[in-house]
Structures are given as structure tokens and as C-alpha cells.
Structure 1
């Protein structure tokens, strides 16, 4: 029995490319997605379909080019002074290279925009009468989002400075 199960697992790995547990998890996620989609489409099917197509078009035709251009500009900002891109260092064992310095802009920008996306009704004051639920005045959310954004970029800048300081040769650090 064990040999048969092991043979089945090896056959799945050979054809599927992953383990049996991975295949079960992927199939369960597809089943959950289908269930959620069917429950969602019981309501306003045409409205949901229009919203989905509109969101895909907005992303592909407007947002993707916008953040691609922004990322290219950020990469140029972090280019080495000699006109070369910063070199990445490979770690032992042939693993992935160390990410570039542009990620010190990407990560806080992504987190700030994600917070804005999730909380935009409150941040932009689009929810009237929400004070009763939060106990906070409606005008505090914009300032708090800005403070969180500044803190994210400040923490990222501190991480960049520490990384650059640690990358300097030991004799330069001891001399100063």
C-alpha cells in the first residue's frame, strides 16, 4: 500500500510538477473561487460583469503604463553615477540576487497606496456620518495617512542608509 501511494505521489509530481498537497490546495482554492463567483453573480450579474471588465481595462490601459513609467523613472534615479545600474550580489548557493536600491522606493510607495486604496473613503472624506462609528472626526484620516506615508518612507530611507553603510569597506567605517 505504501509503495502504491508513493508511486502515485511520484506520478503526480512528474506530471503536475508539484507535490500532492500543492495540487489539493490549488484545487481547493479554485473550488472556493468558483463558489464565491457563483454567490457574487446571483445579484446584479450585468453590473458585476461591467465592473470587472472596466476594472481590467482601467488597470491595463491606464494604471499599468502609469506605474511602469514611474518605476522606470525611479530606476533612473537610483542609477550608479557612472551610468551603470547598481550591481547585485549573488548569495551563496546560487540563490536570487540582492534586490536593487529602487526597492527602497517601491515598498513604501506600494504600502502607502495600498492603505489609500483600502481606506480611501475615510481618507478622502467620502463617508458622511462615519464619526459615530469611529468616535473620530472625519478630517483626521487624511493627516494620519500622510503621517503613515512619511513614516514608511523615513523607515525605508533609514534602511537604505544602514545598508549602504554596511556595504562600505571596513577600513572606511573605522577611519571615520
Structure 2
């Protein structure tokens, strides 16, 4: 086992887990290869990877560095609602941006117009609650 660790650079179970992940990924790729929309799915996947790695990651890493100056407590009170808002945005992206009107309407019988406003309100509530918690924590700390 020491030889595997020295040659691979990590524990044997890490290598086994990685091989298992590649096996599952290969199985999924084989299953999707016969789909008529496989090319579009691959294009969207590659586009999402490029957009995240070249645009989004540098942007939020830079913002996190700027927040680091405010201290760890304040940084976490901005991070949590920002992650929540980003997760909700990604989850409801077509509706928030007004894309796929026909699909959404056919599936639900509703229009996607209120989704942007609802996402903005929910994001504002997340930041407001986090700001309120931060203010309460600061006041408690100041009182001691």
C-alpha cells in the first residue's frame, strides 16, 4: 500500500473511488450517446464548464478576496445568501430570464413572468435576514 501511495500520491481508496467515478461517467456517456439531443447536451455542458471556469470563478474569487478584508464573520454573512441566491438563480434560470416560455406554460399552465420578481424578492430577503443576524451578532459582541 505504501508503494501505491508513493506512486499515485494519495491513498488507495482515493484511486478506487476515482476509478469508480470514471466508470459511472463512462456508463452515462454510453447511455447518452444514442440520444438524438446528445450533441446539444454536450454543447451545453462544455459551455457551462467554460462559463464557470473562465468567467464566474474568477469573478466570485475576486469578490471573496475583497470580502476577506471585512473579516470572517462579515464574509460569511455575505457568502451564505449569495450562494443561496445563485443556487436559486441557476435552478430557475430559464424562467428568471424569461426563456422557454412555451415549455414552462405547457408544463404548468402558468406564465414565467413573475419568476424574476420572486427571485429578486427572495434574494433580498436572504440578504436582509443575513444582515439582521450580522447586526445582532455585532451588538451582542459589543455588549460584552
TM over 0.5: yes
RMSD: 3.2
**TM-score, normalised relative to structure 1:** 0.59
Question: How much does 1:155 deviate?
Answer: 1.3
Greater relative CO (CA pairs within 8 A, separation 6+): 2
Give yes or no for the alignment of 1:103 onto 2:95: no
Q: Are residues 28 and 65 of structure 1, via their aligned partners in 2, closer, same or farther at CA, if it must alter by over 3 Å?
A: closer
Match of 1:155 in 2: 129
Unaligned 5+ runs, structure 1: 1-10, 79-85, 87-98, 171-176
Alignment partner of 1:133 is 2:107: yes
The gaps in structure 2 that reach 5 residues or longer are: none
Q: Counterpart of 1:69?
A: 62
Cα distance in 1 for residues equivalent to 2:93 and 2:82: 15
Q: Which has the larger radius of gyration?
A: 1
Aligned residues: 137
Deviates more, 1:25-34 or 1:151-160: 25-34
Change (3 A) 1:136 1:102: same
TM (norm. structure 2) is 0.70
Structure (1/2) with the larger helix percentage: 2
Check the 8 A contact 1:108/1:153 in 2, yes or no: yes
